Every structure is written in C-alpha cells, then in structure tokens.
Amino acid sequence: MAEVIVLGIDPGTRCTGYGVVREVSGQAVLVAAGAIRPPAKATMAKRLGEIYKGIAKVIEQYGPHEVAMEEVFTYKNVTSALKLGQARGAAMAACAVHGLEVRGYNPMAVKKSIVGTGRADKNQVAYMVAQVLGTKARQECESWPADVTDALAMAVCHLNSRRLARLTEAAGGMR
C-alpha cells in the first residue's frame, strides 16, 4: 500500500499549529509538529505573510499529499471570524499554490474520530493523539501547545477517514 503523508493545520493569527503524519502499513506515525508564531508586535499583513511562508516551508520540507483543516461554524463574533478567516486564507493559499487541496473537518467529528465521543475535552484529544502516533509522539507530546495537538488531531482524523473509506470500498467489492 502506498505511503501517504498528511498535513494537519490549526490556523490562528497569533499561533498556527501544524502537524505532519505519515501512514505506514496502516499505522499513523508522527513526522513533525510545530507552531508558527509571528512576532507579537507584527502588523496583520506581516503575520499573514509569516503564516504563508511557514506553511509553504513545511510543505516543501515534508511533501504532504493531503491537507486537513478544521471547519469552524460558530464564532464569538464577526471580528474573531474575520481574523480567523484571514489566518485560514493565508494557510489555504500556501497549500493551493503548492497544488494541495484542503479537506475540512467538523471539530465534533475530529473528537469522535480520535476519542470516540464528540464531547471529548482538549486533554483527552491530546492524550489520544500522542498514544496513536508512536514513540516519538509520546516523547514529544509534553511540549505541544493546544494548537499543535489540534493540528495533529486533524491529520489523524483525516487518516482515519481515509482508512474507513478504503474498508467500505473493500467490503463493497467482496459482496
């Protein structure tokens, strides 16, 4: 089975988390994880430029085949929706310019896919992500902020969803 590399992104104007996950023989393994943090006093344009360049660098370095990002439907207010939209726009543009499509996942679906319930809290998601992604992940997970865990959760959810699609297809073929 061909190896697949997935990039998960959790965009934000102050901190954009990313996680790169590789599937080897049906097992998800951590490749890299980190966060893009533009300088605190940077203008909005500079922040968005940093997000674009940061994601572009991750893509060039790890060569992901697919990208997963959270779909958000509820916001505190329109100002936060606009800000988040701008961060998403910079990150998605970097993916598209590198020929990558971005698959969106509902936050509840991500939690359900990883912890088994859509009502899991951040700690439960973080714990399961570290357990699932192998030894390196369990060693590094202490240093991950929530944005990194969320980005990795997205990547793992995307791999789960691909696996399920393959199984469903295989079951259809055996009938």
- Catalytic residue list: 10, 70, 147
**Binding of a copy of itself at residue 72 (CB under 8 A)?**
yes
Rg, C-alpha atoms of the chain: 16
Contacts of 51 (CB under 8 A, 6+ apart): 11, 13, 16, 36, 38, 87, 90, 91, 94
> Rounded to whole angstroms, how far apart are CA atoms 168 and 71?
24
**Binding of a copy of itself at residue 165 (CB under 8 A)?**
no
Query: 94-123: which residues touch a copy of itself (CB under 8 A)?
Result: 94-97, 100-102
Instruction: Tell whether 150 is in a known binding site.
Output: no
Residue from 29, 32, 84, 109 in contact with a copy of itself (CB under 8 A): 84
Instruction: Tell whether 70 is in a known binding site.
Output: yes
Least distance (Å) between residue 52 CB and a copy of itself: 4
Answer whether 109's CB lies under 8 Å from 118's CB: yes
Binding site for a copy of itself (CB under 8 A): 43-53, 67, 72, 74-75, 77-79, 81-97, 100-102
